Structure formats: structure tokens, C-alpha cells
Amino acid sequence: MSFSEIDGSGAVLVAAQRRVEMVVLKADLSNKTTRATLKKLLGGPVPAPRKIVNNVAWMAPDELLIMVPDGSSADGLVALLNAGVKAPVLAVDVSDARAVFSLKGNHAREVLAKGAPVDLSPGAFGPGDFRRTRLGQVAVAFWLEAEDEFQLVCFASMREFMFDWLVNAAQKDSLPGYF
Amino acid sequence: MSFRLPEGGCLIDRGQPVSFSFNGKAMQGFAGDTLASALMANDQRMVGRSFKYHRPRGIMASGVEEPNALMNMEEGARFEPNQRATTQEIFAGLQARSQNHWPSLGFDIGALNNHLSRFLPAGFYYKTFMKPQWAWKHVFEPIIRRSAGLGQVPGARDADRYEHFYVYTDILIVGGGLAGFEAALEAGRAGARVLLLEQSPYYGGRAMVDDIELGGRSGPAHIAHLLAQLERMENVTLRLRIQGAGVFDHGYALGYERVNDHAPDTRPRHRLWRIRAARIISATGALERPLSFAGNDIPGVMLAGAARDYIRLYGVAPGARTVVACNNDDAYRTALALHGAGLEVPLIVDARLKGGGELAEQARSLGIRVANGHAIARVNGGKQVTGVEVCLQSGTGGAVETIACDCVAMSGGFSPVVHLWSHCGGKLNWDAANGMFTPDPARPPTDHNGEGFVLAAGSAFGALQTDACIKSAISAARQAGEEVGRSLAEEPAPRRVRQEQVASPLPVWAMPAKAPYALRAKSWLDFQNDVKVSDVQLAAREGFESVEHTKRYTTLGMATDQGKLSNINGLAVLADSLAAEIPQVGTTTFRPPYTPISLGAIAGEAAGRLFKPTRKTAMHEWHARRGAIFEPVGDWLRPYAYPQQGERVQDAINREIRATRNGVGLFDASTLGKIMVKGPDAGRFLDLVYTNMISSLKPGKCRYGLMCNENGFLIDDGVVARLSEDSFLCHTTTGGAGNIHAHMEEWLQTEWWDLEVFTLDLTEQFAQIVVAGPEARKVLEALGGLDVSRAALPFMGFVEGELAGIKARVFRISFSGELSYEIAVPAGQGVLLWNLLLQAGGEHGIAPYGTEALHVMRAEKGFVVVGDESDGTVTPYDLGMGWAVSKKKDDFIGKRGMQRSFLTAEGRKQLVGLRTLSDREKLPEGAHAVADGKALGHVTSSYFSPTLQHPIAMALIQNGQARMGEVLEFRADGKLYKARVVDPVFYDRKGARQDV
């Protein structure tokens, strides 16, 4: 993981990552054959709603977001999925369309809870959980990469705005102290 | 006079003096003081002037219900009006100023109104400022605006920051008094997630002040005992200084946190808690009501409970000699507290003939005189109380005795704070015995399952006595716990409560009962809005029978306190005047927020730089460095023009256009929406979404398409490219990308769920660069890698491959009318390609052009822009684009809409071009064509064309197509313009330039 911009002045480390390879897959995920095929192609089960498993995230009843593992390429995965899934499928490289951020620190939950209408208490949102929601006025999705580290994606054109938003929300003297 | 007592005050720290100023005068209080208690400690009881009559007003209450003590706080960028002295904690250096007077608090010119009061009755404005009509704008309104209002409007930009915070919990408890604590303990024991909010800086509520005894402990000791247990529970969170401000549908509640109003620092000033709770327990207490006797607004008259608060919480004597006036037992506690603090209580005036219960006996046994069946006829004094005249409650106010005093503590009974119960529709019962509205548990506000989601506890439920208060709290907590799946079988051990024997209160709405007009006209109901008993009675006589109408007519219960003290008294007077029962008259509507909350808290972090998301393309930095002027389009920032050193913007636009028309231009089109549509039924789906035929498009080809809504009105346009047999890329307008994607998904998910189609918004994946102009092909050829010749890549075709080694898709489409290529590359490669194109175009004088040059060039070509030439009421036919509406298709969105009679009728506005008769005059956009006094239509786009060297315009004109050659008159900006109706295509009608 490499970063293009880091701010460590706040209670949480905010880092904008360099390009992360990712692919969107749209298919009928309720179809058993498709699920079985995807399990084989992705090397793991199709995640349940609002979950992320093995870097594959549930985005919608017919949509997955797949973080391309190191050593593979988005192009390769797109080709694999298009060829492998026999049912109608849409698989596209969206690496350039997204900005990815890391939020690292004990208080990352509180920073996100300032903008996302999501129950972020440790009992309700843990490793493996994934939410497609909004942060302030920006559409985002996030999940826990580690116990104290969130990963967040938004549209690439919002990268600067999102970074500023996160740095503002992470200011040291502004934590609600709830979680 | 009011003063600091030598001892007492459980909230203040006498070891920590705090300096502050009031009206510029330096004063001192102690840490823990409110501004109100500190002012009283400095013998400053008069704190403002009233709204209408400018009467001197004093501190009346000790909490959020305070109507009078509103302050202009601080200075400059931290200035804020209407801050309640009773809820503002003092801090070192605090600056407060009283409001609503000129030139000073002590001497106020506006007080003349007080002597004119008989000429300023209810509805005064409506009756007086009628004629002449012109005077409204020039005389009345300016005067009213200057004289109305309380505090001043801040002049500087707010220096503070604010934020939101989302919280989810099983049970939200609002109120950290005895009821809230008992409920939290019971719900906490059962294992529910509990969040308890207390608006003040301390827990305990009345238990800290009233002499109650629980389990052998005093009130404060019991609260400490409960607090210790609650703090040990991991599932229970307690927070101070957060007000439960509003309850909304689906268990949504707002908490208004005043983070550092008590100690300004760099933290966010306010935080708005946006809470989702399965159940909400409203333990918000009750508010004491004033009594309506003449002069009840003179500084020194205050609520009995507040007088007690100042003694017990802050160690402040509200007066040296206090007369207590009441209709209930609770006020006797104040007499006892005053007596206990060594202060004089010359008389308790109790309107009840039989007097009070155990507490009254205690008072008597201490030698305090009690006058049963008596009332206050009037309060003597101007800027402060000097005495009271006592009369019989049943009479007309003939005084039997005058008592010298400097303070009057009054209690007219209690009103449960039913606001949170009522915000979302909880209904109330009228408790005639106690004279109060209480929540009806059988008619709670209901959630999405039809179940009640708010429960009331303690005195907010109407349980005014300690034992009943605890019982209702436990019961509410157990019910809420059960409903969120957290319940305990065993009930908690009952608390041993020492409960005094209490006598019933007597409803007293006027004091004395038969007060004549002279007294009623000085008996205040609403202190903040200067509404008297006589005003409500007048409103009733004038036919205002609805309590809501009376409120608006008299202003009873308006402004910042929303009638916290006045509502029940006011509607009781109204009911009496109408000879109706109180429940029949009913209350006005309780609306959130409970008290005013700051606009900053509502905006949260969305201010300044973070006001609105800004979207930037991959080439944004380059544009900025090149000196581009940006314009917002949707959330995007797009280069409007690239003026060079010393160049005027209009000259830059003209230069960019000439460069493109004569050589080659470069344009950032990345913001255009790009929606991928894929699946076996993709063609069928797009035939339904677009007005023209899309399924007949061959792979590798592009087609311009229109989209309408169900009404047949144009909503978007753009070029569709068929990528393969089963996949299309649909370009939308910049502002339309998100909406059109949602529009497609809505139709797919709700109507055409049987179609096998997937859509995905790929707008951001690609940087899209337009290379346009006669030399465009040479530039692409110089980059190499792709055959872009006319044969290999004809107009309205596209190819994929590598351009200068970058993976690219190149479309031959044109919005400028020139030979034009739109090159899409992964966004991350955008800057690289942009620079390569600039380099390669150098020898042809390549120039980047902005959105304005684009708009001029498209207007020269007669191309429409959705949102300029269309406004949501325009069909493709109106725009002369019937050619893009398929006659062969069975159906598409908007087909039936377009067939409605008035969309096919004669006389609709149609798109035309306009050529001003003078080449020096450019029509203003939006100018209306007028003939015979009727509007014919308006100018939709207007530019100066540097290509044609004259102005050009487009317009929507009634029967426009039939008016070709006609000269129309436009009036705008005080000028008359004449323009001839012409074809909207001004340049290269045959389209030869783009197809080379």
C-alpha cells in the first residue's frame, strides 16, 4: 500500500492511497450456478449483504466490488470474469474511478460517525462488515481493514474534498468520546 | 435586592472566582454559576426590556423556560444574540449585554410604549398599518423591522466550527433527573444499550433542590448513589450539556450538545447528535407556571421553584424579603428554603381556601404567616418590586393589606414537558385535578410498525410526587426494555420514599378571580412577547376562537421561548373567555426543536471549504496552473476560459474559438456522464429509455439520442456508442450523470425487472479529451498508434486501441461542428495524454478552450443544451428534433406523454434562431419577446459569434417555425431590441466541416 497524501496531525491518521486496482462485477448473485462459478473464480464465497470477504465486497443485490490482489491485474480479472461467468455479466475495471483512503487510529469510528448514518459501535460494526453509505455529502463505502484501521472509497473526483473532510473531522480536540 | 448568601450552593465553587462583564460593567461570580445566578449575586435583577412596551424585565426562571433574561453574548465573530442567561454558564472574560433598549437598560426611550399600551392592543399591527399601501414598503415595514426583534443580527462571519455525530441505541432517555436515572438503571440492568442526555451541566434535576428523602438518603445523595451504579454499566452512556431537542419519525431524535459554550476553546462549539433509538423515554420534567396577577412582570417577581434553585444550587438570595404566592403545595418548599437560608418570608398568599398539606403545616410551625383564600392584587414597583397588595382571591382586587417586600415567588402549578412526547404525534389528556396536560399512554407517537416508540416518565408523565415519579420511570424502562428485547423478570426492590401528605392544587387562571380590566391589562401571560390577559380576551371577543389563530393574532407563545410559561395560562384564559372547557380549546402544536438550536449545529461541518463537495477532473491542476477561470457545473468545477496574461475574458473566449475553427482546440470533456449498459436486453432497454432507435446501431458506431420523462419532456441528451453486441456506453450531460443512472435503475428495478440488463456509472473511470478543428487529425496522427483516417474512423464511429501507447477509445463525434475526436483514456492517464496532445498540436497553434467557447461554437451550429434550450416543459418536437423521436417503436418513456392534446396543439413555443437587426446589439438571455402586450417566448441562449462577427441567439417562440423572417421586439434592461427570426443553425448548415 502506498500513499499519495498523509495527514497525521489529528486523532486519526488520514492517508490517501495511490491507485488501488479494483473491478466492479454485476451479475445475478441469487443464481446458484453463478455463485458457485464466482466462488471458484474469486477464490472465496460471494459475501453476504453488507459484508466484505477476502477483499470482495457486497455493493448491491447484483453488484460486487473486488479489490484486485497484488500480483494480479484488473484487466486480467475482468477477462477472467467475463469469460468464466456463463450468465449475463458486467465486469469492468474501475481503478481510476475511485479514490481510496485509510483511517488509522483508535478513534477512527468516531471520525466516520460524524458523517455516516451507520451504527459504528464496535458491537455493531466489526471486521468483515461493509457499508455503502455517505460521509457528509459524499457517497462512500467503507470497511475495517484491521481492528483500528478503516478503508474508505469514494469517487476519484472527490479525492481532495474527501481528504479535507476527513482531516477536519479527525482534529484532535473534536472527538465526541462516545465509542 | 438579590445577593450572594454566605454559604450554600451545591453547584458553585467559592474557591474559584470568575470575572465577567454585563453592559460593560465588571462583575464577579464563581465557577459553576450561570450568568443569571452571577448577575443576581451582583444585585442585577433587571436584565432587559420587554419586546413591545419596553418594560423593565428581570430574571424569572432558572432554566430553558426563561423568557426575559436574553443576552447579546460576546463580540465580533463570536457575537450571538438571544442567549439565555439562565442556561449560560459563566467563564472568565464572558461579555454579556442586555437587549431591546435604547439608549440604555436603565433609561429606555421605547418605554414610552408602556404609557401608550392602551393604544397597542392585540392585533395592533394588523389594525393600524393598513393604508396607504405605498407606506408599507417605505414607512411601516422599516419602522417595524427596527423596533421588532430581540437581539442584534451578528455582523461578522461565525468563527466557530460545528459538527454532527450519528449514534444508534436501544433506548434513548432524555433527562438526567430522578426519573431519567431510575429508568436508565432499570434499562441498564436489563442489558439494553442506553444513552441518557441531560441538557444542564449537572444531573439530578429537582432532586438536587427539593427536600426529598429516598432509601434514607437525601435527594443529592440518592442521585450520587445512582450515578455511581450507572457509571459502572458499560452499556449505559450518560452525557451532560446535550438537550434532547426533537423527536422525529422512525425513532430518530436530535441531541443538541453545547460543547464549549461554558468554556470557549478550540473544540467544535456545538455538536448535533443524530440519534436512532428503538425506544425513547422522555423524562424531561415539568415547568412551573406563573400566576396572572397585575405587575407579575416587575423585576423581582419570579417562579417559586427558580427562587429555590438560586438558593440551593448557587447560594444566591433572590431577595431579602420574599412574598410567596401560590395555588399548590410545592411553593411552600420555597418558603421553607428561604426561611432556612435566613431570609424573610413575610407572607405566603395561598389562593386555596383550605390551604396546603404537610408542607404548609411545616411553614406555619416555623412561624411563617399564611393567608388562605387570598391573592395578589398588584405588585408595586417599577424597576424592581417594592411591595404587594393582597386581596381576596374570590374578589375584584380590593386590597386588604399592603406588604413591603423586594421579591415575589409565584407558583401557578406545573405543566409536564410533553414536547418530545408530542413532536411526533403523541396525544395528551387533560388532568383537571392538577390543571395540566399529561401524555396519554394509550395514544403514543407510533413508529413504522404502528407501535408507540416514545414513553414518558416522571413529572413529564404527570407524576409530580417522588413515589409516583419513580414508579413511572421503572415502568417505562421495563416496557421499553421488553420492546427492545431486553427485559428482566424480577422487578427492582421498591425504594423507601418519605412522601409528604399533599393537598390538591386549585386551578387559578386569573388572580384575583374577578380582576377588573385595569388589573388584567397589567397581568402578563407571555413575558417575552408582551401578551397580557386582556389581549387574549380581546382576541376571543374579536372572533379568534382557535388557539392557533389566537397565537398568531396576539403573538402568545411565539418567539424564542415558544410559550413554555405562557401557553397553558393563555389557553385557559381563552377557554374561559369562550366559556369552553380547556381540553376543547386544546394546545398549539409542539414542534421541534424544544429550544432554539444554533444554525451552525444544523449545518455541521458543511461551511466554508466543506460547504459543498467539489468534483475535479484528472486535468484540474493543469487547468488551474494555466490560469483557467472555473465555473461550477453540477458539483464539478470546469474551466470556463483560459485568459492569458493581461487578456480580457471575452477576448480569451474569442481567441479559443478562432483557434479551434481555424486550427485545433483541446477541451476537457471528462465530466460528461458515461453510463455502461450491458446485457442480452441492453438494446431493447435503450430503445425504451431513448426517444430514438438505439438497437439498430452497429457495434463501433455512435448515435445522438434524446431522453424524455414520462410526460414527454426532454431530460437529457448525448451520444450512445455501441461497444459490442450486448454493451453500450451512454454519454449524458455533465449534470445529468447521476440522475440518469438513477432514472435507468428505477425503470429497470420497478417496471422492466424482466429485462436482463446491467447499468454502471463509469463517468469517473475515464478522462475524456476533445481534439477539435481542421487540424485535429494531424495531431492524433502525430501521436501515432491508431488509424484515425476518414476511412478507418468515419464521422459517428469509434475505434479502440493504443494512442501514443495509452489505452484509448476514440470517438468521431462533434459538438463544435468541426472535425472532432473525443478520446477516452483511464482517468489516471488523462494528464499524460493532455500534455502529449498539446505538444503534438504545438505546430498547429493548438489552444485549450473552456466551456464558454464550447457553448458559443455549439450555438453557432444550432445545437441545444439541455437546461438552456429546455426547461422541463419542452419536448423534442418543440426543439425541431422530431427526427430524433422514433415513429416505429411501440413504446418508449415519454411516448404517450407527447401525444397528449396540449403537447400536440398549435401554438407551442418552438426553437428558432434570432439575428438582431443591429450587429452591435446582443440580446440578453431570458429577454421576452412581446407583441400586443403578450409574451411570445424568451431568449434561451445569446452570444457574440467571433466566427460570424455578429451576435447570435436562440429562443423559444410561439409558433416559431411559422415566423421565419418576422421581426420581434424584446424589452429588457430598459431597452428595446429588435431581432429577426431565423434558422437556429448559423454556421455550416450542411455539416460539411465535421464530416471530413
Separation in Å, CA of B304 to nearest CA in chain A? 37
- The CATH number of the domain where B684 resides is what? 3.30.70.1400
**pLDDT more than 90, % of chain B:** 90
The whole-number pLDDT of residue B127 equals 73
Please determine, for residue B136, whether its predicted confidence score (pLDDT) is greater than 80: no
Separation in Å, CA of B395 to nearest CA in chain A? 58
695-734 in B: which are within 8 Å (CB) of A? 726-727
The whole-number pLDDT of residue B559 equals 85
Per-residue pLDDT tens digits for B408-435: 999 999 999 999 999 999 999 999 999 9
- Which residue among A27, A113, A165 places its CB closest to the CB of B165? A113
Judge whether B610 is closer than 8 Å to chain A, CB to CB: yes
Total tally of structural domains belonging to chain A: 2
CB atoms within 10 A of CB B250: 10
Average pLDDT of the residues in B804-816: 97
Residues A29 and A90 reside in one and the same domain: yes
The reply to whether A177 falls in a domain is no
Average pLDDT of the residues in B967-993: 95
Per-residue pLDDT tens digits for B716-739: 999 999 999 999 999 999 999 999
The reply to whether B314 falls in a domain is no
Residues A106 and A51 reside in one and the same domain: no
Compare B587 and B646 and report the one with higher pLDDT. Answer: B646
The reply to whether A40 falls in a domain is yes
- Which residue among B614, B756, B760 places its CB closest to the CB of A161? B614
The whole-number pLDDT of residue B148 equals 58
Cα–Cα distance for residue pair B649/B657, rounded to 1 Å: 12
- The CATH number of the domain where A112 resides is what? 3.30.1360.120
On average, the pLDDT of chain B sits at 95
Judge whether A142 is closer than 8 Å to chain B, CB to CB: no
Per-residue pLDDT tens digits for B502-532: 999 999 999 999 999 999 999 999 998 889 9
Per-residue pLDDT tens digits for B878-937: 999 999 999 999 999 999 999 999 999 999 999 999 999 999 999 999 999 999 999 999
Mark residue B250 as left, alpha or beta (left: phi above 0; alpha: psi -120 to 50; beta: remaining): left
- The CATH number of the domain where B167 resides is what? 3.50.50.60
DSSP code string of B51-103:
TTT--EEE---SSTT-SS-EEEES-GGG-EEEEETTT-B--TTEEEEE-S-SB
Q: Binning pLDDT at 50, 70 and 90, where does residue B587 land?
A: confident
- What sign does the dihedral B338-B342-B343-B344 (CA atoms) show? positive
Residues B170 and B101 reside in one and the same domain: no
Reported ipTM: the value is 0.97
Residues B187 and B276 reside in one and the same domain: yes
Separation in Å, CA of B809 to nearest CA in chain A? 15
The reply to whether B511 falls in a domain is no
Residues B28 and B171 reside in one and the same domain: no
The whole-number pLDDT of residue B105 equals 80
Q: Cell numbers of B577, please? A: 373567555
Average pLDDT of the residues in B487-506: 90
The reply to whether A175 falls in a domain is no
Residues A44 and A12 reside in one and the same domain: no
Cα–Cα distance for residue pair A141/A100, rounded to 1 Å: 10
Per-residue pLDDT tens digits for A143-155: 999 989 999 999 9
The reply to whether A158 falls in a domain is yes
Residues with Cβ within 8 Å of B438's Cβ and at least 6 positions away in sequence, in order, are: B416, B418, B428, B429, B431, B456, B461, B462
Q: Binning pLDDT at 50, 70 and 90, where does residue B561 land?
A: confident
Q: Binning pLDDT at 50, 70 and 90, where does residue B601 land?
A: very high
79-138 in B: which are within 8 Å (CB) of A? none
Per-residue pLDDT tens digits for B635-681: 999 999 999 999 999 999 999 999 999 999 999 999 999 999 999 99
CB atoms within 10 A of CB B21: 13
The whole-number pLDDT of residue B110 equals 73
Residue type, B573: V
Which regions of B783-933 does DSSP assign to beta strands (E)? 798-803, 806-811, 820-826, 847-848, 909-916, 928-931
The whole-number pLDDT of residue B698 equals 98
Strand partners, B676: B729, B760
Q: Which domain does A165 fall in, by range? A: 3-19+97-170
The whole-number pLDDT of residue B147 equals 63
Separation in Å, CA of A8 to nearest CA in chain B? 18
**What residue in A sits closest to B271 (Cα-Cα)?**
A176
Residues B912 and B964 reside in one and the same domain: yes
The reply to whether A69 falls in a domain is yes
Cα–Cα distance for residue pair B151/B135, rounded to 1 Å: 26
Instruction: Residue B267: list chain A partners with CB under 8 A.
Output: 173-174
Separation in Å, CA of A64 to nearest CA in chain B? 12
Q: Which domain does B15 fall in, by range? A: 1-157
Q: Binning pLDDT at 50, 70 and 90, where does residue B149 land?
A: low
B560 within 8 A of B70, measured Cβ to Cβ: yes
The whole-number pLDDT of residue B978 equals 97
Residues A92 and A26 reside in one and the same domain: yes
Q: Binning pLDDT at 50, 70 and 90, where does residue B154 land?
A: confident
Helix (H, G, I), strand (E, B), or coil: what is residue B477?
helix
Per-residue pLDDT tens digits for A86-118: 999 999 999 999 999 999 999 999 999 999 999
The whole-number pLDDT of residue B146 equals 63
Judge whether A122 is closer than 8 Å to chain B, CB to CB: no
The reply to whether A39 falls in a domain is yes
Please determine, for residue A1, whether its predicted confidence score (pLDDT) is greater than 60: no
The whole-number pLDDT of residue B112 equals 73
Residues A117 and A86 reside in one and the same domain: no
Q: Binning pLDDT at 50, 70 and 90, where does residue B145 land?
A: low
Residues with Cβ within 8 Å of B472's Cβ and at least 6 positions away in sequence, in order, are: B179, B456, B457, B458, B461, B463
**pLDDT more than 70, % of chain B:** 99
Cα–Cα distance for residue pair B980/B341, rounded to 1 Å: 92
The whole-number pLDDT of residue B260 equals 96
Hey, are the CB atoms on A97 and B268 less than 8 Å from each other? Answer: no
Q: What are phi and psi of B105, to 5 degrees?
A: -60, -40
Q: Binning pLDDT at 50, 70 and 90, where does residue B973 land?
A: confident
Q: Cell numbers of A161, please? A: 474534498
Residues A165 and A112 reside in one and the same domain: yes
Hey, are the CB atoms on A173 and B274 less than 8 Å from each other? Answer: no
Instruction: Residue A140: list chain B partners with CB under 8 A.
Output: none
Please determine, for residue B142, whether its predicted confidence score (pLDDT) is greater than 80: no
DSSP code string of B144-171:
HHHHS-SSPPP-SPP---EEEEEEEEEE
The whole-number pLDDT of residue A70 equals 82
Residues with Cβ within 8 Å of B522's Cβ and at least 6 positions away in sequence, in order, are: B294, B295, B378, B532
Residues A12 and A40 reside in one and the same domain: no
Residues A148 and A159 reside in one and the same domain: yes
Hey, are the CB atoms on B758 and A155 less than 8 Å from each other? Answer: no
Average pLDDT of the residues in B56-85: 95
Residues A109 and A166 reside in one and the same domain: yes
Strands ordered across the beta sheet of B673-678: B702-708, B714-724, B727-732, B673-678, B758-761
Please determine, for residue B137, whether its predicted confidence score (pLDDT) is greater than 80: no
User: Which of A5, A96, A109 is the best residue to mutate to test the B interface, defined by the most B CB atoms within 10 Å of its own CB?
Assistant: A96
Mark residue B894 as left, alpha or beta (left: phi above 0; alpha: psi -120 to 50; beta: remaining): left
Among B143-147, B166-170, B372-376, B585-589, the range scoring the smallest mean pLDDT is B143-147
Q: Which residue has the cell 376543547?
A: B584
